[in-house]
Structure 1
Amino acid sequence: MSCLPWCGTEEESRMNALTEQEVKAGYRLLFDGRSLEGWAATRHPEGWLVQDGHLVCKGVTGGYLFTLEQFDHFELRLEYQTAPGVNSGIFFRWTDLNDPVHTGLEMQILDTYAKETMDKHSSGALYDLEAPSSNAVRPAGEWNQVRIRCDQNLIRLELNGTVVVDADINRWSVPGQNPDGTANKFKYAWKDRPRRGHIGLQDHGGYVEFRNISILPL
């Protein structure tokens, strides 16, 4: 698998930091590597901590960590690694903090490295809406690089340098139904949903580490 330009040895040496070029381009950090400033938990804040420059989900309590700030059109970048078998997710455009399941889009995090056939719940999927085009996730315990780009109605998910989802969210015009006629979990039509919302990380009962979380407003 190819590696994004900002990962690898150089990235390790400047963890949770931006280059001068990135700052000039408009990127900013969402996680400073020292604290959870700018973030809050929906419940069980004790399930989240900062350790060795990593944002750690201990995976023993459930719930979500979310940005206090909301975003609409952006490119989000981050890295994550999980323990074996872990299920988690990156939520975005999440509008109702009491209802992430129906009011947040999710890029699936799941240990599906050995899986041959991708579906709407495989790692890299736009959860329950579109399956990843290929299996780009790395084995549990290795770092994965993510880019999520939301530009108006266009959603692009990139995992380890591979674009795995390229979707026009306006095609989801019927509540509970995908464009191909299959069912999904959402009680709203995403075509009609607000474009602005929180970014969230999911505690689904498994251990996950995140780092190098940055955003570029578009």
Structure 2
Amino acid sequence: MTARLALALLPFALATGVAMAQNAPPAGDPKATEQWEPVPPVVTPGQRDAAPPSDAIVLFDGHQLDQWEASKDHSPAHWKVHDGVMTVDKTTGNIQTKRRFRNYQLHLEWQVPKNISGEGQARGNSGVFVASTGPGDEGYEVQILDSYRNKTYVNGQAAAIYKQTPPLANAMRPPGEWQAYDIVWTAPVFAADGSVQSPAYVTLFHNGIVVQNHTRLTGETLYIGKPVYKAYTDAPIKLQAHGDPSAPISFRNIWVRPLD
């Protein structure tokens, strides 16, 4: 082989050698990176997408409110139960779960009346407090509102982290149709002195559409002023009776899966 030919073939030889090195099987035992234990538990999905899975705690099955209490004094909840749904009764105020939770997956469905009137925040206003830290409107609120062709401030429309983070999209169905929220709540973690070690996060699907993607919260919901954190360990889930007389909100099919 002439020197000129050898030089000409050198790039090909180098490329072939690199390709062979890249295609060579990796050294070591593949079993070294296989995990066999612990085996994840078997959870049977519901027969329908929105139905509770086998490990869920059913908070409302369409028949009774035995999982709920009045937020103001822990007396029995007295919202109206009819036709498989429960409807806000503003005269009795907010209701909350008797059980307390930290991290969880929550499913609930809500509806504003088809003949709703009003505009802005006076149009089917309610909310789900993913952690209720007081008897009134204290805690961390995901907004419920008729946001179908209804203009308002964007961090106050449906699926907003109220007064903090607007949703990534407006996924509202028209009034009279059922809306679905699927929420993954990661509770804040506090040090012994009450300082925040890890903030709260929420992921929210509204009618199957991601509208909050691991959103970081800056504190509890405040109507006036900046959000602030207050230390807590676990808390009920609360539904708000906002007092909108034109649009009593109804709820159905509520279940939760603790993730602790």
By the TM > 0.5 criterion, same fold? yes
Q: Give the direction of change, closer, same or farther, for the CA distance of 1:202–1:116 in structure 2 (3 Å limit).
A: closer
Structure 1 residue corresponding to 2:210, chosen from 147, 163, 172 = 163
Structure 2 residue corresponding to 1:35, chosen from 43, 64, 68 = 64
Unaligned runs of 5+ in 1: 177-182
| TM-score (norm: length of structure 1) | 0.75
**In structure 1, how many angstroms separate the alpha carbons of the residues matched to 2:46 and 2:124?**
25
The correspondence of residues 9-20 of structure 1 with structure 2, limited to 5 A, is 10=48, 18=52
Counterpart contact for 1:78–1:213, Cα < 8 Å: yes
The correspondence of residues 12-161 of structure 1 with structure 2, limited to 5 A, is 18=52, 22-23=53-54, 26-42=55-71, 48-59=79-90, 61=91, 63-83=93-113, 84=116, 85-97=123-135, 99-100=136-137, 103-115=138-150, 119-152=154-187, 153-161=200-208
**In structure 2, how many angstroms separate the alpha carbons of the residues matched to 1:202 and 1:154?**
21
Residue aligned with 1:198, SS: coil
**In structure 2, how many angstroms separate the alpha carbons of the residues matched to 1:128 and 1:6?**
34
Q: Deviations over 1:188-214 (max 9, x none)?
A: 623x54252111111122311111100
Residue aligned with 1:30, SS: strand
Q: Deviations over 1:11-49 (max 9, x none)?
A: 7xxx9x63xxx11xx212011321110211236978612
Unaligned runs of 5+ in 2: 1-44, 117-122, 188-199
Structure 2 residue corresponding to 1:210, chosen from 248, 251, 254 = 251
Counterpart contact for 2:79–2:92, Cα < 8 Å: no
More strand by proportion, 1 or 2? 1
Letter in 1 for 2:131: R
Shift of 1:144: 0.4
Compute the RMSD of aligned alpha carbons: 3.0
**In structure 2, how many angstroms separate the alpha carbons of the residues matched to 1:140 and 1:163?**
21
Identity %: 33
Q: Give the direction of change, closer, same or farther, for the CA distance of 1:117–1:202 in structure 2 (3 Å limit).
A: closer
Q: Give the direction of change, closer, same or farther, for the CA distance of 1:129–1:210 in structure 2 (3 Å limit).
A: same
Counterpart contact for 2:146–2:158, Cα < 8 Å: yes
Q: Who wins on radius of gyration, i.e. which is larger?
A: 2
Residue aligned with 1:120, SS: helix
Counterpart contact for 1:30–1:213, Cα < 8 Å: yes
Letter in 2 for 1:48: W
Shift of 1:66: 0.8
**In structure 2, how many angstroms separate the alpha carbons of the residues matched to 1:89 and 1:57?**
11
Q: Give the direction of change, closer, same or farther, for the CA distance of 1:88–1:45 in structure 2 (3 Å limit).
A: farther
Letter in 2 for 1:212: N
Counterpart contact for 1:89–1:107, Cα < 8 Å: yes
Q: Give the direction of change, closer, same or farther, for the CA distance of 1:58–1:111 in structure 2 (3 Å limit).
A: same
Letter in 1 for 2:99: E
Counterpart contact for 2:65–2:77, Cα < 8 Å: no
Residue aligned with 1:149, SS: strand
**In structure 1, how many angstroms separate the alpha carbons of the residues matched to 2:153 and 2:171?**
10
Q: Which residue of 1 aligns with 2:224?
A: 185
Q: Give the direction of change, closer, same or farther, for the CA distance of 1:202–1:93 in structure 2 (3 Å limit).
A: same
**In structure 1, how many angstroms separate the alpha carbons of the residues matched to 2:252 and 2:46?**
12
**In structure 2, how many angstroms separate the alpha carbons of the residues matched to 1:90 and 1:168?**
17
